[in-house]
Amino acid sequence: MCGVELEKMVFLRHTFLPCLRISSVVLFFCSVYCAFLYLPSHQDQSGLVLTDLGRMLGDLNAFDATFGRRQVVFFVETSNSGKVFERHVCSLEAAASLNPNVTVLLVMTQQNCQIQRENNTALVRLLDEYPNIRLASVETKQLLKNTILEEIWTTKFLHTVAPVQHLSDLVRLALLWHFGGVYMDLDVMTVRNLSLVLREANFLAADDVDHLNSCVMGFERRHPLLQTLLEVVRAEYDPKSYSTVPTAINSAVVAYFNLSIEEAIKLRKWQRVRFYNSNGFSPFKYANYMNLFYPTTIEWVERISRSSYGVHFWGSHTNHIVFKENSTAPFAQLARKFCPKTYPSLYT
Ligand SMILES: *[C@@H]1O[C@H](CO)[C@@H](O)[C@H](O)[C@H]1NC(C)=O
Ligand SMILES: *[C@@H]1O[C@H](CO)[C@@H](O)[C@H](O)[C@H]1NC(C)=O
Ligand SMILES: *[C@@H]1O[C@H](CO)[C@@H](O)[C@H](O)[C@H]1NC(C)=O
Ligand SMILES: *[C@@H]1O[C@H](CO)[C@@H](O)[C@H](O)[C@H]1NC(C)=O
Ligand SMILES: *[C@@H]1O[C@H](CO)[C@@H](O)[C@H](O)[C@H]1NC(C)=O
C-alpha cells in the first residue's frame, strides 16, 4: 500500500500523516498527493516523484498530455526495492540518448509516490541530463483490472514462485494493452537508434532460431495478436514455472498464425507483424551469455552494434558478474559507449 516505505520519508511523515493508514481512502489521497507533487517533475529535494499511471488507464488523452504525444518505450521495475539497479539505469540512458524524440518511461509497481534520491544517485544524474526519461508508478491491481489478465492476478499469481519476474511479465502486457508502444526489459541495452524499429508498430523478437523472447516487443493498443497473447497467457499461466509467460507467448503466436516459430522468424514479417531474429536484440544467446563478460576485441563489439538494435544481457544470470574500469568484455565496452554517464557506477 501507500505506506510500505513511507516511514523512511521524513517530509511525508510530517506533511501527510494519514498516508500511513492503510485504506482505500488513503490510496485516493495518495494519488491526489502524487498528482499534486508531480508538477515540477523531478525537482523535489527529498524524493523522485513518480507519475501515477493509474489515473490515465481509461484516459489516453491524459497519457499523451503527460508524456508528450510521442512514441513511448516502456521499461518496468517490479522489485519494489525503491532502488533502480545501476545496470538498469545504463539501459535507460542508452535508450534515451539514442532516441531523443522518444519518451523512455520507467514504470514501477511500488505503491509509493516517490523513490529516494540518495538510493538512486545514478538515476538522479540521468534525469537532469535527459528530459525524455520519465518515471511512473502504477498499482498492479488497478492496471490489470478489467483486462484479460485480471483473473491470473486474483488466483494463480498468489502461488507464483517468481513474483518479481511474473509480475513484470504481466505488467508489460497490460501496459501495451492499455497504451500501446514498445516494451523493453531493463537488461536490454539499446545500441542503435530505434527509428526503424519504431516504424513497425507490432513486433516480437527472437533469442534463437525457434524461440521468441518477451524482452522486447511492440504493439498497437488492443492489437488482435496482443489479445491472443493475453488469452493464451491467461489459459496457460503456470505459477510454478519461471518462464511460463514467454512459453505462452510462443504458443500464442503459433496458434494465431498457424506457423511454427521458426517459420515466422524466417518470414521476418507476416500479416503486418514483424519478427526480429536473434541478431535484433539477442546477439548473445542464452547458452552464450557468459561471453558478455569475457575479454574481446573492439571490432567484435562494433560488429554487434552495427547488426543489432539492442543487447539482451540476461541480467538475472549476469548481474552478479563484476568487471574492471577498462575491461574489454563486450558488456563493458558497450556500456562505456552507450551509457557513458552511468558507466562510472557500473565497474568495481
Ligand atoms: C526530433 O524531432 C524533431 C522535431 O520533430 C526533428 O526536427 C528532429 O530531427 C528529430 N530528431 C531525431 C534525432 O529524430
Ligand atoms: C535507501 O536509503 C536508506 C537511507 O536513506 C537506507 O537505509 C536504505 O538501506 C537504502 N535502500 C537501499 C535499497 O539501498
Ligand atoms: C537512425 O539510424 C539509421 C540507421 O539505422 C539512420 O539511417 C538514421 O539516420 C538514424 N536516425 C537518427 C534520427 O539518428
Ligand atoms: C495450419 O497449417 C497446416 C499446414 O502447415 C494446414 O495443414 C492446416 O490446415 C492449417 N490449419 C488451419 C486451422 O488453418
Ligand atoms: C582506464 O583507462 C583510463 C584512460 O585510458 C585511465 O585513465 C585509467 O587510469 C584506467 N584505469 C585503470 C584502472 O587502469
Residue 35, pLDDT score: 53
Region 198-214: mean pLDDT is: 96
Do 143 and 215 fall within a single domain?
Answer: yes
Measured distance between the N- and C-terminal CA atoms of the chain, rounded to whole angstroms: 36
Domain assignment of residue 293, yes or no: yes
Apex 68 CA angle, 63 and 181, nearest 5: 65
34's CB contacts (< 8 A; 6+ apart) are 49, 50, 51, 52, 113, 137
Q: Which of 259, 281, 303 is the last residue of a domain?
A: 281
Do 212 and 137 fall within a single domain?
Answer: yes
Q: How far is the CA of 68 from the centre of ligand 2 (A)?
A: 33
Do 261 and 300 fall within a single domain?
Answer: no
Do 161 and 230 fall within a single domain?
Answer: yes
Question: What atom of ligand 2 comes closest to residue 83's alpha carbon?
Answer: 13
In this predicted structure, the answer to whether residue 190 has a pLDDT above a threshold of 50 is: yes
Q: In sequence order, what are the beta bridge partners of 219?
A: 181
- For ligand 3, atom 4: residue with the closest CA: 193
Region 101-129: mean pLDDT is: 92
Region 68-80: mean pLDDT is: 93
Domain assignment of residue 3, yes or no: no
Do 311 and 201 fall within a single domain?
Answer: no
Domain assignment of residue 15, yes or no: no
Q: In sequence order, what are the beta bridge partners of 135?
A: 106
CATH number of residue 132's parent domain:
3.90.550
Which cell goes with 81? 526495492
Which cell goes with 226? 496482443
Contact 105, 73 (CB under 8 A): yes
In the block, residue with C-alpha cell 500501446: 180
Is residue 69 within 6 Å of ligand 1 at its C-beta? no
In this predicted structure, the answer to whether residue 201 has a pLDDT above a threshold of 50 is: yes
Range of the domain at 214: 33-281
- For ligand 1, atom 7: residue with the closest CA: 101
Closest CA to 175 of 184, 164, 163, 186: 184
Residue 227, pLDDT score: 97
Question: What is the number of domains present in the chain?
Answer: 2
Is residue 195 within 6 Å of ligand 3 at its C-beta? yes
Domain assignment of residue 69, yes or no: yes
Domain assignment of residue 8, yes or no: no
Domain assignment of residue 6, yes or no: no
Q: How far is the CA of 143 from the centre of ligand 2 (A)?
A: 28
Tell which wins on pLDDT, 100 or 31.
100
Domain assignment of residue 5, yes or no: no
Q: How far is the CA of 335 from the centre of ligand 3 (A)?
A: 20
Residue 3, pLDDT score: 32
Do 336 and 214 fall within a single domain?
Answer: no
Do 245 and 207 fall within a single domain?
Answer: yes
Question: What atom of ligand 5 comes closest to residue 326's alpha carbon?
Answer: 1
Region 89-93: mean pLDDT is: 98
pLDDT digits (tens, 9 = 90+) for 8-54: 333 333 434 434 444 555 555 555 555 555 444 444 467 899 999 99
Do 92 and 217 fall within a single domain?
Answer: yes
Cα→Cα distances 341→94, 156, 254, Å: 10, 41, 42
Do 55 and 131 fall within a single domain?
Answer: yes
DSSP per residue, 194-225: -HHHHH-SSEEEEEETTEEEEEEEEE-TT-HH
3-state secondary structure of 185: coil
pLDDT-wise least confident of 37-51, 235-249, 265-279: 37-51
Q: How far is the CA of 170 from the centre of ligand 4 (A)?
A: 30
Q: Which of 281, 313, 332 is the last residue of a domain?
A: 281
Region 237-262: mean pLDDT is: 96
pLDDT-wise least confident of 40-49, 100-109, 132-141, 205-214: 40-49
pLDDT digits (tens, 9 = 90+) for 120-142: 999 999 999 999 999 999 999 99
pLDDT-wise least confident of 26-30, 108-112, 303-307, 329-333: 26-30
Is residue 341 within 6 Å of ligand 2 at its C-beta? no
Ligand nearest to the CA of 332: 5
Do 128 and 241 fall within a single domain?
Answer: yes
Alpha-carbon gap, residue 343 to 341, rounded angstroms: 6
Q: Which of 258, 281, 304 is the last residue of a domain?
A: 281
- The answer to whether the pTM exceeds 0.75 is yes
Residue 113, pLDDT score: 81
3-state secondary structure of 43: helix
DSSP per residue, 266-281: HHSEETTEEEE-HHHH
Domain assignment of residue 7, yes or no: no
Region 205-227: mean pLDDT is: 97
Alpha-carbon gap, residue 188 to 92, rounded angstroms: 9
Region 247-267: mean pLDDT is: 97
Do 127 and 221 fall within a single domain?
Answer: yes
Apex 229 CA angle, 223 and 232, nearest 5: 140
Mutate to test the pocket of ligand 3, among 98, 195, 304 (most ligand atoms within 8 A of CB): 195
Do 239 and 92 fall within a single domain?
Answer: yes
Alpha-carbon gap, residue 26 to 30, rounded angstroms: 6
23's CB contacts (< 8 A; 6+ apart) are none
